[in-house]
Amino acid sequence: MKWILPFIFCIFSLFANEQGELMAKKTTIVMETTQGVIEIELKPDIAPKACENILKLAEKGYYDGLIFHRIIKSFMIQGGDPTGTGAGGESIWGKPFADECTSSVTFNKPGLLAMANAGPNTNGSQFFITTVETPWLNGNHTIFGEVVKGYDVVKKLEAVETNMQDRPVKEQKIKRMYIKP
């Protein structure tokens, strides 16, 4: 009986250490798209749940083959919905998760990766990348990464022809998303 508590402590310590190492190192997501490659450095110190969510979804190939279903010029490109409608997708927990908004990181520049949502604490699998400053989004969307390479690709995606519902006329895909080795 004396060994149970130390054993449980060791197990929790190992798990916490593994999660801590993942969140402590700089992690970059690579997104291969129909327009080229985008690299995004994640910010686990700011938004650990959002980072864990996208990492685990990317590891299992969740985003591979999905489309950018919404593109608005001088605003953002949005993807991550397996239905392609803007109404689908879920987190690794199988339910929406809480916002991780903070005043220390704001929408003060283009190239920021943030969670798309349907209101407070409704984050799932959808994300967007800004193409301009978007201060009106501060406090409403979790910022959890920044484009570090391939911003020109983001601009190419932003420039594609869209219909009245902001949907690209010609499908723009995330061919593959993975963690940079």
Q: What are phi and psi of 94, to 5 degrees?
A: 75, 10
Instruction: Report d(CA 84, CA 107) in Å as an integer.
Output: 25
| Residues acting as catalytic residues | 70, 75, 78, 117, 128, 137, 141
Instruction: Report d(CA 14, CA 22) in Å as an integer.
Output: 12
Strand order through the sheet with 127-130: 68-72, 76-79, 127-130, 112-115, 143-149, 36-42, 28-33, 174-179
User: 109 CB contacts (<8 Å, ≥6 apart)?
Assistant: 130, 133
